[in-house]
Amino acid sequence: MINERIYRCLVLDDQAYATDIISLYIKRESDLVLVAALTDPFEAVRYVNEGLIDLVFLDIEMPELDGIQFLRLCGEKCRFILTTAYSEYALQGFDFNVVDYLLKPISFDRFRRAVTKFRQLQPVASGVLGLKDHITIKGDAKHKYYRIPLQDILFIKGMNNYICIYTHSETIVTYMTLKGIMNELPNRQFCVTHRSYIVGKSHIKTIDDNQLMVGDHLIPVSKRYKKDIIESLKIVPS
């Protein structure tokens, strides 16, 4: 199912048991998706720099690169909730405009309050909390990114670990799964038609049994999704 708004999370702590606890908490929240739970801060920097993360749960005390150094590198690229056993770091963390500060051991209730704070800080677009009008996708070159208006997307085709995004003017190939891109798209504008296809609803011209006409393309429709497509388009079956 495509969600209205999904927040991609990364957990970084040099202790694996600590990442496990936060990871379990994340999985209990329907709008949070765990992208990675890491003990290597340099790998985490790569995730954040590539625009793959919305929220980082960041430990302060790490031997190779501590949390404050991490914030200096990546502090403006996503939101951060600090996690540590040492309360003296709280003030320093808030100098970087972090969302909240969780003192270990972290209870689920305290975790939820921090996440609620994070949600409230997200920008309002088009008059509705969290709605957006574009996605940003990494291209096939190392430092190339595409800003794609949602209304321009005809359909998306999944191919193993790659997807092809078809617009009126171009086809963009990127290293990403179909499930991953689904989490970026609002269901009011897109629907899944097949295990390998997502379609922009406004571009559907015709529905004919087991296929759709989208622009000049024929897109397969599987039985699993046909009923949902008809309902989402408010089509009355004959």
Residue 94 has a pLDDT of 56
What does the pLDDT look like over 194-236, one tens digit per residue?
989 999 988 988 888 888 999 889 999 988 888 777 776 664 4
Contact 165, 172 (CB under 8 A): yes
Q: Once rounded to an integer, what is the mean pLDDT over residues 91-107?
A: 78
Give the pLDDT confidence score for residue 38 in this predicted structure: 94
**How does residue 65 score in pLDDT terms, banded at 50, 70 and 90?**
confident
| Domain ranges within the chain, ordered by starting residue | 7-125, 134-232
- The structure tokens listed for 22 are 């936060």
Give the per-residue pLDDT at 142: 62
Strand blocks (E) in the chain: 7-12, 32-38, 55-59, 79-84, 100-103, 124-125, 128-129, 134-138, 145-149, 153-159, 162-167, 171-175, 190-194, 197-200, 204-208, 211-214, 217-220
CATH of domain 7-125: 3.40.50.2300
Work out the mean pLDDT of the chain and round it to a whole number.
83
Query: How does residue 77 score in pLDDT terms, banded at 50, 70 and 90?
Result: confident
Other beta carbons less than 10 A from residue 14's beta carbon: 17
All residues at 6 or more sequence positions from 234 whose CB lies less than 8 Å from its CB, including other chains: none
Helix (H) or strand (E) holding 231: helix 223-232
Q: Yes or no: say if 176 and 137 are a contact pair by the CB < 8 Å rule.
A: yes
Spelled out in words, what is the top-level CATH class assigned to the domain 134-232? mainly beta
How far, rounded to the nearest angstrom, does the alpha carbon of residue 71 sit from its chain's CA centroid? 20
Distance of CA 92 to the CA centre of its chain: 28
Neighbours of 51 (CB within 10 A): 14
Angle at 229 between CA 225 and CA 230, to 5 degrees: 120
Decide if pLDDT at 133 tops 60.
yes
pTM greater than the 0.85 cutoff: no
The DSSP letter of residue 131 is -
Q: Would you mind telling me the total number of residues written for the chain in this entry?
A: 238
pLDDT digits (tens, 9 = 90+) for 4-32: 578 999 999 999 999 999 999 999 998 89
Question: Which one-letter amino acid corresponds to residue 5?
Answer: R
d(CA 117, CA 100): 8
Which has the higher per-residue pLDDT, 98 or 123? 98
CB 56 within 8 A of CB 79: yes
pLDDT-based confidence at residue 66 (cuts at 50, 70, 90): confident
* Percent of residues, the chain, with pLDDT higher than 90: 38
